[in-house]
Amino acid sequence: MEKPTQFELNDAIQRWRENVSKSPALRAEDRAELESHLRDSIKQLEAKGLSTEEAFLIARRRLGSSDALEVEFGKLNWKTIWAERAAWMIAGSLLIGCLSSLNSGLASLAGLLASGLALPRHTVGLFTAGTNLALFIITVPLTWRFLISGSRSLGTIAVRVREHPFLIAAAVAALTILSIALSMGFGFLRMYGAQYGAQDVGTLTLWQQASALFVQAMAWPVALAWVLQRMARKNKAAPSPTRRC
Amino acid sequence: MLSKELVAASTVPLVLSILTEGENYGYALIQRVQELSETRIQWSEGMLYPVLHWMEQEGLIKSDWREAESGRKRKYYRLCKEGKKVLQTEKEQWTTVHTALTKLWKNQPSLN
């Protein structure tokens, strides 16, 4: 059963470190200190005649589970935890703003194009609103997918951000600029469309705004509920003791 | 084995007392406690570090990273002035309890 040649201590420690890195409760320095402890403990156990793999497993167990460590360190580092939560909330709301202005901008562009086809005014309006909702239905799950699935899970992103805190600052700045640029860009396009004889830009804008309002008031809560439900299902699949301080 | 409450209460005086012997790092502190108590005091190892960090926040001890002989870095803790004061108080309190219990148990030979 024993395969001492296949056990690579540094890889095992690397995996352990990635596992404890998932929590903001432990700072980089705390992880380094725990790793130093783990290596001391492994050395001691090896000196007693255990194989490296056995020594690693016992040392890791004696150190405590990452959940237990998270709880104890969390009591001390609660400021870090809340600062990170706040940063994520700000980044999230900016992302929502970005998606909203992208969608409603694209919808009004579609409306402008449709108005060139000399359709009845309210058909154009409904078309604009429909495009807005359709874009929402397409882009939000896609963004969610992109953030959550595969190797780019939020946890991995969080670990990267924790190592380079300026990443999140850069992301927030980029999102803000993108959001403003998008709404300005589409504003210009609307003006341009009005100049070149798109019919009744007033009604069009009104429909566009109404549909954006509808999407924001109705579709976002539905999307959030969907996300929360998915998360709840995921948590049920992999039970973990309640953490947080 | 000590009760959970007693382990929690005795961690700070134990750490402070061991550090009076000279600066030390987490793993060695645990080893020292096991040796002193003949392994009857068992700390969950990872949990010592939040306690050490709390003690540092309270100004009882100070820490710095230094390279050990092996070339690896370790975080060493040493006693501060405030820590010595707290240790003095702890010493008086634990001695009070110890003395009272010893007196009682001396008069009750059935307990021996």
Q: Is the pLDDT at A198 greater than 70, yes or no?
A: no
Q: Helix, strand or coil for residue B40?
A: coil
| Cβ-Cβ contacts under 8 Å, B73 against chain A | 32, 36
- Rounded-to-integer distance, Cα B29 and Cα B21, Å: 11
A39 touches chain B (CB under 8 A): yes
Whether the per-residue pLDDT at A111 is higher than 80: the answer is: no
Collapsing DSSP to helix, strand or coil, B12 comes out as helix
**B-chain residues within 8 Å CB-CB of A20?**
none
Segment A190-203 shows an average pLDDT of: 65
Contacts of A30 in chain B (CB under 8 A): 49, 53
**A46 has pLDDT over 90:** yes
CA angle B39, B43, B49 (to 5 degrees): 140
Mean pLDDT of B97-102: 94
Q: What is the pLDDT of residue A241?
A: 44
Q: Identify all chain B residues contacting A39, using CB atoms and an 8 Å cutoff.
A: 72
pLDDT of residue A243: 40
Instruction: Report whether pLDDT(A97) > 70.
Output: yes
Mean pLDDT over the full length of chain A: 78
A23, A159 in Cβ contact below 8 A? no
Cα distance between residue A61 and residue B47, in whole Å: 12
Contact between B74 and A36 using a beta-carbon 8 Å cutoff: yes
Beta strands in A66-182 (DSSP E): none
Interface probe for A, chosen from B7, B27, B54 (most Cβ of A below 10 Å), is B27
Note the pLDDT of residue A245. Answer: 33
* Chain segment B21-37, per-residue pLDDT in tens: 999 999 999 999 999 98
* Spatial CA neighbour of A58 closest among A70, A66, A69, A46: A46
The answer, yes or no, to whether residue A81 has pLDDT greater than 90, is no
Partner residue opposite B75 with nearest CB, options A36, A39, A68: A36
Looking at per-residue pLDDT, the higher value among B2 and B49 belongs to: B49
Higher pLDDT, B97 or A107: B97
CB A203, CB A214: distance < 8 Å: no
Q: How many helices (H) and strands (E) does chain B have?
A: 4, 3
Contact A30, B75 (CB under 8 A): no
- Strand B61-67 versus strand B24-25 pairing type: unpaired
Other C-beta atoms closer than 10 Å to the C-beta of A135 total: 19
Q: Using pLDDT thresholds of 50, 70 and 90, give the confidence band for residue A149.
A: low
Give the CA distances from residue A110 to residues A16, A120, A133, A141, A209, in Å, rounded to whole numbers and listed in that order: 51, 15, 12, 21, 14
Q: How buried is B55 (Cβ within 10 angstroms: 0-12 exposed, 13-18 middle, 19+ buried)? A: buried
Rounded to whole angstroms, the Cα distance separating A74 from A84 reads 13
Alpha carbon distances (Å) from B83 to B21, B73, B79: 13, 25, 6
Is residue A79's pLDDT more than 50?
A: yes
> Looking at residues A22-48, what average pLDDT do you find?
90
**Is pTM beyond 0.80 here?**
no
Of A73, A42, A28, A110, the closest CA to residue B51 belongs to A73
Q: What is the pLDDT of residue A59?
A: 93
| Vertex B10: Cα angle to B8 and B15 (nearest 5) | 110
Q: What pLDDT, on the 0 to 100 scale, is given for residue A150?
A: 53
Using the predicted structure, report yes or no on whether residue A119 has a pLDDT greater than 80: no
Tell me the nearest-neighbour CA distance from B81 into chain A, angstroms: 23
Give A12 to chain B, closest Cα distance, Å: 18
Kindly list the residues of chain B whose beta carbon comes within 8 Å of any beta carbon in chain A.
Answer: 25-28, 31, 44-47, 49-50, 53-54, 57, 72-75
User: In terms of pLDDT, which residue wins out, A9 or B19?
Assistant: B19
User: pLDDT class for A244, splitting at 50, 70, 90?
Assistant: very low
Question: What gap in Å lies between CA A148 and CA A109, rounded to an integer?
Answer: 30
Per-residue pLDDT for A128 more than 80?
A: no
Considering CB atoms only, which of B46, B54, B57 is closest to A63?
Answer: B46
- Taking alpha carbons only, the member of A112, A119, A37, A21 closest to residue A73 is A21
pLDDT bin (cut points 50, 70, 90) of residue B2 is confident
Q: Are B43 and B9 in contact (CB under 8 A)?
A: no
pLDDT value for A242: 44
Percent of chain A with pLDDT over 70: 81
